[in-house]
Structure 1
Amino acid sequence: MAPITALSDDEATTSDPADPPAGVLGRWGATMAAHARWVFGVWLLVLLVLGAAAPSVFSALAGAGWQADGSESVQVRELAQQHFGGNSSAAVHVVVHSERDTVDGPAIRAVVGEIAALAGTDSRFAQVVPPQPGMSVSPDGHTGIVIVGAAADTDEMVRAVDEHKDALIALSGNGIEVYPTGASALWSDFNEANHDAMIKAELFSWPVTLTIMVLAFGSLVAAGLPLLLTIAGLVASAGGLVLLNQVTPISVWAMNFAMMFALALGIDYALFLVSRFRDSVREQGDDMRAAVAQTMDTAGKAVLLSGITVLVSLSAVLLVPAPAVRTMAVGIMLAVAFVLAATLTLLPAALGALGGRINAVSLPYARRQQHRSPVFARWGGFLQRHPWAVATGSLVVLVALAIPVVGLKVAMPSIGVVPADAPVRQGYELVQSQMGEGAPGILQIVAPADEARQAAAVAAQSPGITMVTPATPAADDSDFVLMQALPTVDPSADQMATIVDDLRDALPDGALVGGAPTENLDLQQALNDYFPLVVAVILVLGFLLLLVSLQAPLIALIGTVVSLLSTAAAFGVAKLIFQDGHLADLLGFTPQGFLDGWAPVFFFAMIFAIAMDYTVFLLATAKEHYERSGDPSTAQVDGMAHSGRIIFAAAAVMVAVFFTFALAEPLPPKEMGIILGVAVLLDAVLIRLTLLPALLRITGRAAWWTPSWLRRILPSISFSH
C-alpha cells in the first residue's frame, strides 16, 4: 500500500487523475487519512474525557419536565410550592393502608411518624401533612394519604423519590402497606421501568445488528467498523449530555432516544461510506488517499447533507414549550452530531489506515460483491418498464394504511403504562378502590383570599366535581387560599378535560386550576397547538435542504411530499395497534384507547428525519449518475443499483433496532419501537426502493431541471467524481 501523506492545496487542484478530487470534502477526507494518528489521538482524548462522565448519564439526568411552561397548571404548582408548604403537584403522596388497623390507631400513627422523620432528613421535602379526615382518609378509615411537601423543583423531587422510595416501602409490615405515589413517584417508577426496558432492548439489538451487518458486507472487519464508530458517538454523546445537564436540566429520556437513534443513524452513515470506499479501493488500487478522498467527495457529501437534514428536522421540536420534549430532541441532536463528526473524521482516518484490509475476514461471496448490485440494477430496470403500475400499487397500500390516522386520539400516558407491580401503581389503585375513581387525580385551586367563598361555591357546583375541601390560607400570610377538588372520573379519562375546562370557565378571574391531571392536559394542549407549526417548519426546511442539495425543485418537492406518506401510514398502523388494540395480545400490552401525547410531534420529526435520510442517499446517488451521463433513465437505474442494497441493509438494521423495543414490557418504549420500525419498513420498501424511483422514471428529465434564475442563487453542489 502506498504511503498516505497530507495533501497540499497545489496537489488538491492538480489535474492528475491519480490525485484526490478538488472538492472540499475530498480534501478533508484525504487530510483525515493522512493524519490518522492525530485523528485517533484526538478522539481517544475526547472519549476519555466524555467517557468518564458517561456512566452516570442515567442517574445524573432529569426525571421530570413533562409540563407546558407558562401554563396555568404550572403557575398553580409554583404558587402551591411557594405559599402552601410545598403541597403542590410535585408533593409525594404516601399511601398507608391496613385491613386491620385504622388511620387514627397507634400502629398507623407510628408509621406516619416514621414517614415524617424520614422526610425531615432531606431538605427537598417540605411540610408533612398527616391524613386528614374528610380529605385524605378513606370513608372506612383504613386508608390514609400522608402529603410530603415539595421544597425543590420537579426534577429534584423525582431524584428524592428515587433515593427514598425503598426506605418508604420498607416501612410496610405488621399488616400495614406503604406506597409512595403522586406525580414525582410516578415519574420515578416510570423512568426506572423504561430505562430497564431500553437497556434490555439495546443489548438484544447489538448481536442482531452485527449479524445483519456481516451479511450485508460479507466481511467482519467492514461490519464491525460501523459498530465501533457508533459506540464512539454514543459514549461521547452520553458524556456530553451529563456535562450539558450541569447547565440546564436534560431529561433522562434524551439518552434513551439518543442510544436508539445514534445506533441506527451511525450504522446508516457508515454503511454508505464503507460501501463506497470498498468500490473506490478497486478503482484506485494502492492509492488509499485517493480512495478515501473519492469516497468523501461523493458518499461523504450525501452523509453530511443527510446529517444536516436530520438535525434540522429535530430542531423544529425545540419550538414546543415543554422541557422534556425539547431536551429529548437535544439529546438526539447531540448524539447525531457526535456520530456525524465521527463519520466525517474518525471513519475516513480508519478507512485510510485499513485500506484493502477493510475486506479482511470475508465470507466467500464478499470477494465477488460489487458496489453496483446486479439485483437492484434488475429491479431498477423493472421500475423503468412498469413505473405507473408500481407507483399506483405503492400509493394504494400507503393511503390505505394512512386512512385510520383520521380517527387518531392522543393523551398523556395513564397509570397503565407503569408495570403492575410498581409501588406507585399499587398505591394508585388502592386509593381508587378506597376513595373513588378520581381520588388519585385531585385538582388544586389557588385563588385570592377575597374570592375564596365564591370560588368554593362555584367549584362545588361544577359538573364532575364531587367534593371541594375548605379553603386553606397561605402559610406565609400571602393573599392566597388553596382548595382541593375531587373529580368523579379517573385522571386519564376523556371527561377530565371537559371537567377542567368547565371549572376554569366558571371560577372567578383570579382563581387558577392546577394539579397533576391538569398539568397533563395543559401539556397535551401545548403539544396539539404546536404540532401544525412543527410540521410546517420541518416540511419547509426539509424541502429547502433537498433543493440546495439536489439543485432541482421538482424532485426536491417530490422527495419531501412522499416522506409524508410513510409518516401518515406509520401513524395509521399505530392507531390500529395502540388505540384500537389489534395485536395487543401478541405484543403483550393493554391498550389505553389513545396514543401517547408526545408521539405526533416527536415521532413525526424522527420519522421524517429518517425518511429524508434515505431520500438523500437515493437521490444523491441518482444525481451523481445523472451528472455523469445526462440521461435520466441511466440515473434512475444506476442510482438504484448503487444505493439500493445500502438502503435495504440500513433499513434492516433500523427495523431490527426499533423492533427490539417491541419486546419491552412498559408501553412507551414498545409504542416507540413499533411506530418507528413500521415507519422505516414502509419508507424503505414502499417509497425509497419503489415509489420514489418510479416517480423518477415518470418525471424523467424534468426531475433534474433547474431554472436558470434558481441556478444563479443556489450554491454549486455536485455529486459526480
Structure 2
Amino acid sequence: MLASLARSCVRARWLVTAAWITTVVVLSVLAGAFAGPTSDDFSLPGSESQRAADLLADAGFTARSGTQAQVVLHAEDGVDTAATRDAVEDLATGIPRELPGAEVTSPFDPGGERQIAPGGDIAYLQVDLPLKDQVEVADAVDRLEELRDDVDVPGLQVEIGLPSAEESSGPPAEVFGVLAAAVILLIAFGSFVAMLLPLLVGVLGALGGVAAIELAAHGIDVPSYAAAAAGMIAIGVGVDYALLVVTRFREALRDGLPVPEAVALAQHTAGRSVLFAGITVVIASLGLVLMGMELITGMAIGIAASVLVTMLGAVTLLPALLGIVGPRLQRAQGRPRRFGRRDRSGAAAERWSRSVQRRPLVFAVAALGTLLVLAIPVLDLRLGFSDAGTLSEESSARKAYDLVAEGFGPGVNGPFVVAVDAPSGTAGPAAEELAQAFAADPGVASVSPAMLSEDGGTAVLQVVPTSAPRDEATADLVHRLRDDAVPPVVDGTGAEVAIGGAQPAAIDFADYTAERLPLFLAVVLGLSFLLLTVVFRGLLVALKAVVVNLLSIGAAFGALVAVFQWGWLTDLLGIEGVGPIEAWVPMLLIAIVFGLSMDYEVFLLSRIREEYDRTGDNATSVATGLARTARVITAAAAIMVCVFGSFVLGSDRDLQLFGFGLAVAVLIDATLVRMVLVPATMELLGRANWWLPAWLDRRLPHLTVEGSVSLPREPERVPAGAR
C-alpha cells in the first residue's frame, strides 16, 4: 500500500508539495487569527481543592476562588511615607477600575497591617482576581504592570507577583535545535539537498501540527506550553522519520534502482517502520486521555495531533520531495554499487559489536550497572509544580517572590484558602475553632480572621504555611491539616470543610498523577511486550526490550531528579531554581520515550531478524544488523538530542524539564541500550532470543513492520511505435 501511495505521490509530486505548503500556510494563518484560549488550570473535578473553589464561588467569594496576586512594595527607608501612601491609594482604586471584580486589600487599610513586614521596608497589596483563564490572567498582569509603571515615588520599588507572558517566554529554542540538526544531517548525508529534505518535513509537520493544536483549543483545554512541546516533538520525530526514509532511498539508488522505484522501496521498508513508530506514539499519547486529567489530556491530544501530521508528511510529502530532487541525488550517488559488493559504511559499528560479543557478560553488567546508578535518584522523585521562585532573577515576579519571602516568610507566596460550609448560619463558630486548630500546627505561620458570607452559612480562612509553595513540607502540611486537624472539629456537626488554593490544587493533581503512574507504566510496557512479540516472534527478545526500556526510563527520571529537584549542574545548564518535577511530565515522558524507543528497537531488530532468517547465525546477524543501522540510529538520536536539548536554553522551566528528560532518554537509548546492551544480551541469549512456543506462534497474528525488499516494478511504458 505504501509503495503504491509513494508512486502516486511521485507522479503528482508538484501537486502534493503545493497542497502541503498551502495547507500549512492556511492553517498557520487561521491559527494566528483564531487561536483558541489556553488554560494552565490543573484543578481536578472531584478533588478537595476544586470543592473549596466551588463552595467559595457559590457563596459569593468569586475573587477568592480565582487567582491571587500581590503588588509588592520595597523602600530602604520604609514604606510608611506620605508619598507611598498616596501611590498605594491610587493603586488600590485603579486596580478594580481596570480589572472589574478584583478585590484589593491595601496594607494601609484597617486589617491590612499584617501586610507590612516587621522591618517596615516591605509591604504588599493583596489582589484577588476572579480569573483562571490563562489569557485573561496574562492580560490582567499587563494591566497591573501599566499601573505599576505609573508609580513615580523616589526610592520605591514596585514588583508584580505574577509571571507575565514576556517573563515566561524565552528565546526561540527550536531554532538552535534545527541548526544543530542541519549540521548533523549534512555530515551524515554529505549532501546539502539530502540534508534539506528531513528538515523540511520536520518543520512543515511541526507548523501544521501546532496550528491544528491552537485551533483545537476552542474545543479542549490546552496548556499554554502545549504548542511549544508539540512542536519540539514534531520537529524531532519528523526529522528522525525522514532520515530513515531518505537513508533507505539512497541505498536503493546505490543499488541501481530508478528514482520512482527507489522511493517506493524506501516507503515499503523504512516507511512502514515510520508508520508503525508514529502510530505507536499517537496511541501511547492518546492513552493518557483515559487518565481523566484535563491538563494532561490537552497536552496528549496536542502531541498526538502533531506527530500524526508529521507522520503523514513522511509518507506523502517526503515521497513527492524525493521525486523532485531524486535525480540530483541519483547523480550525486555516482555509479551503482556492484552486485555482491559489501557496503563497508558500517564497518566500525560491526567491529564494535564483535568486541561487545566477545565479552558479553562484562559489557552487559557494566551497562546495567550504569543504568541502575543513573536511576537511583528516582527513588526521591517528588511530583508537584514550580512557583515564581524558579523564574529568572531578573523577572518582576521573581523579585516580588523574593521580597515577600524576605519580609514575611516564604509561605506568604502560597497561602491556602479554606472554605467552611455549615448549616443554619453556623459557619462562623466552626471557622474560629478551625483557625485555632490550624494555628497549633508548627507548619502554620498564621491564620487570617474568618470572612463570612451574607447568610453566615459559608466562611473563608486564609492559612499561611511556614514553608515555600514548592517545598515538600508544604505538601505534608496540606495532608496533615486535612487528615488530622479538620476531622475533630467537623465530625458530627454537619459542616463541610475544604482546603484549596493554588498550592493545594497542585498537590491534589500531583497525588492523583502519582497514584496512576504505575498503572500507566505497566500498560505501556505490556503493550510494548505484546507488539514486539508479535512482530519478532520471540518472547525473550521482547522481554529483554521491555526490561531495558524500563531501565532507560528510570535513568532518564533519575537525571531529571538530580538536576531539577536536587540542583546538580543547574549553573552549567542555566536553570534558575530547584523544585519538584512537574506533575504532568512523567506520563508524557513515558508515552513519548516508549514510542521513540520502539522506533529504534524495530529498526534495529528488523535488520537483525532479516539476517537471522537468512543465515541462522545469531552472532553474525547481531553484528550485521548493528552495522547496517548504527549510523542511522546515531544520527537520528543526535538530532533528537539536539532538538530536545535546545529547550533547556529557554526560560520556561516546564519545557526545560520536558526537553531535558527527552534528550537524556534518547541519548541513553541510542548509546547504552542499542550499542551495548542489545548486542551483549542477544549474544548471551543466543538462539533463545527467538524462542516462541509453537502453540503461541499459531495463535498470534503475523505483523510485518518492514516489508520485503523485493518489489514488483511499475510496468515500463513502451512507445507505440516501438512495439
Give the structure 2 partner of residue 155 of structure 1. Answer: 134
Aligned-pair Cα RMSD in Å: 3.1
Residue aligned with 2:43, SS: coil
1:271 equivalent in alignment to 2:243: yes
Give the structure 1 partner of residue 295 of structure 2. Answer: 324
Give the structure 2 partner of residue 196 of structure 1. Answer: 170
Query: 2: distance between equivalents of 1:128 and 1:403?
Result: 47
User: How much has 1:362 moved relative to structure 2?
Assistant: 8.2
1:335 equivalent in alignment to 2:301: no
Do the aligned residues in 2 keep the contact of 1:313 with 1:541 (CA within 8 Å)? no
The 5 Å alignment of 1:383-402 reads: 383-402=356-375
The alignment of Structure 1 onto Structure 2 pairs a total of residues equal to 685
User: How much has 1:648 moved relative to structure 2?
Assistant: 0.7
Give the structure 1 partner of residue 52 of structure 2. Answer: 76
Query: 2: distance between equivalents of 1:661 and 1:402?
Result: 23
Give the structure 2 partner of residue 427 of structure 1. Answer: 400
- Structure 1: tracts of 5 or more residues without a match: 1-23
Give the structure 2 partner of residue 458 of structure 1. Answer: 434
Do the aligned residues in 2 keep the contact of 1:150 with 1:157 (CA within 8 Å)? no
Query: 1: distance between equivalents of 2:139 and 2:94?
Result: 15
1:349 equivalent in alignment to 2:320: yes
1:571 equivalent in alignment to 2:549: no
Do the aligned residues in 2 keep the contact of 1:566 with 1:679 (CA within 8 Å)? yes
Q: Which digits, 9 at most, give the CA deviation of each residue in 1:24-47, with x for residues without a partner?
A: 222222232233233223313321
User: How much has 1:81 moved relative to structure 2?
Assistant: 3.9
Paired letter, 1:305: F
Query: 2: distance between equivalents of 1:588 and 1:149?
Result: 33
Query: 2: distance between equivalents of 1:144 and 1:625?
Result: 73
Query: 1: distance between equivalents of 2:420 and 2:453?
Result: 10
The 5 Å alignment of 1:659-698 reads: 659-665=645-651, 667-698=653-684
Residue aligned with 1:87, SS: helix
Cα distance 1:433–1:395, how it changes in 2: closer, same or farther (>3 A)? closer
Query: 2: distance between equivalents of 1:412 and 1:474?
Result: 32
Do the aligned residues in 1 keep the contact of 2:174 with 2:232 (CA within 8 Å)? yes
Do the aligned residues in 1 keep the contact of 2:253 with 2:333 (CA within 8 Å)? no
The 5 Å alignment of 1:38-437 reads: 38-55=15-32, 61-82=37-58, 83-98=60-75, 105=82, 107-122=84-99, 125-131=101-107, 132-135=109-112, 137-138=115-116, 144-175=123-154, 176-181=156-161, 185-186=162-163, 188=164, 192-197=166-171, 199=172, 201-286=173-258, 288-358=259-329, 370=343, 373-437=346-410
Cα distance 1:138–1:373, how it changes in 2: closer, same or farther (>3 A)? same
- Structure 2: tracts of 5 or more residues without a match: 710-723
2:12 counterpart (22, 35, 39)? 35
Query: 2: distance between equivalents of 1:81 and 1:371?
Result: 71
Query: 2: distance between equivalents of 1:601 and 1:119?
Result: 41
Cα distance 1:544–1:104, how it changes in 2: closer, same or farther (>3 A)? farther
Do the aligned residues in 1 keep the contact of 2:413 with 2:469 (CA within 8 Å)? yes
User: How much has 1:550 moved relative to structure 2?
Assistant: 2.8
1:489 equivalent in alignment to 2:467: yes
Query: 1: distance between equivalents of 2:66 and 2:122?
Result: 20
Residue aligned with 2:225, SS: helix
Paired letter, 2:354: G
Of stretches 660-669 and 83-92 in structure 1, the one that deviates more from structure 2 is 660-669
Do the aligned residues in 1 keep the contact of 2:529 with 2:543 (CA within 8 Å)? yes
Do the aligned residues in 1 keep the contact of 2:214 with 2:227 (CA within 8 Å)? no
Cα distance 1:112–1:618, how it changes in 2: closer, same or farther (>3 A)? farther
Of stretches 557-566 and 653-662 in structure 1, the one that deviates more from structure 2 is 653-662
Cα distance 1:101–1:408, how it changes in 2: closer, same or farther (>3 A)? closer
1:527 equivalent in alignment to 2:513: yes
Query: 1: distance between equivalents of 2:576 and 2:122?
Result: 28
Query: 2: distance between equivalents of 1:261 and 1:359?
Result: 31
The 5 Å alignment of 1:564-643 reads: 564-589=550-575, 592=578, 594-643=580-629
Do the aligned residues in 2 keep the contact of 1:219 with 1:360 (CA within 8 Å)? no
User: How much has 1:165 moved relative to structure 2?
Assistant: 3.8
Paired letter, 1:78: D
Do the aligned residues in 2 keep the contact of 1:410 with 1:595 (CA within 8 Å)? yes
Cα distance 1:221–1:421, how it changes in 2: closer, same or farther (>3 A)? same
Do the aligned residues in 2 keep the contact of 1:410 with 1:594 (CA within 8 Å)? yes
User: How much has 1:645 moved relative to structure 2?
Assistant: 0.6
TM-score by length of 1: 0.87
Give the structure 1 partner of residue 714 of structure 2. Answer: none
Cα distance 1:251–1:56, how it changes in 2: closer, same or farther (>3 A)? farther
Residue aligned with 1:399, SS: helix
Query: 2: distance between equivalents of 1:236 and 1:675?
Result: 25
Residue aligned with 1:275, SS: helix
Residue aligned with 1:492, SS: coil
Residue aligned with 1:251, SS: coil
Give the structure 1 partner of residue 717 of structure 2. Answer: none
User: How much has 1:142 moved relative to structure 2?
Assistant: 6.1
1:558 equivalent in alignment to 2:544: yes
Of stretches 101-110 and 245-254 in structure 1, the one that deviates more from structure 2 is 101-110
Do the aligned residues in 1 keep the contact of 2:95 with 2:104 (CA within 8 Å)? no
Do the aligned residues in 1 keep the contact of 2:420 with 2:460 (CA within 8 Å)? yes
Give the structure 2 partner of residue 473 of structure 1. Answer: 452
1:498 equivalent in alignment to 2:448: no
Cα distance 1:99–1:457, how it changes in 2: closer, same or farther (>3 A)? farther
Cα distance 1:698–1:26, how it changes in 2: closer, same or farther (>3 A)? farther
Do the aligned residues in 1 keep the contact of 2:67 with 2:130 (CA within 8 Å)? no
User: How much has 1:513 moved relative to structure 2?
Assistant: 0.7
Query: 1: distance between equivalents of 2:199 and 2:6?
Result: 20
Paired letter, 1:172: V
User: How much has 1:446 moved relative to structure 2?
Assistant: 0.8
Q: Which digits, 9 at most, give the CA deviation of each residue in 1:476-525, with x for residues without a partner?
A: x4831212122222222322223222222322250111122212221221
User: How much has 1:388 moved relative to structure 2?
Assistant: 2.9
Give the structure 1 partner of residue 638 of structure 2. Answer: 652
Paired letter, 1:30: R
TM-score by length of 2: 0.87
Paired letter, 1:196: G
Query: 1: distance between equivalents of 2:531 and 2:466?
Result: 51
Q: Which digits, 9 at most, give the CA deviation of each residue in 1:312-369, with x for residues without a partner?
A: 33234334444333322222222111111100111122223332423677899x9999
Give the structure 1 partner of residue 3 of structure 2. Answer: 26
Cα distance 1:274–1:661, how it changes in 2: closer, same or farther (>3 A)? same
Aligned-pair identity (%): 32
User: How much has 1:276 moved relative to structure 2?
Assistant: 0.4
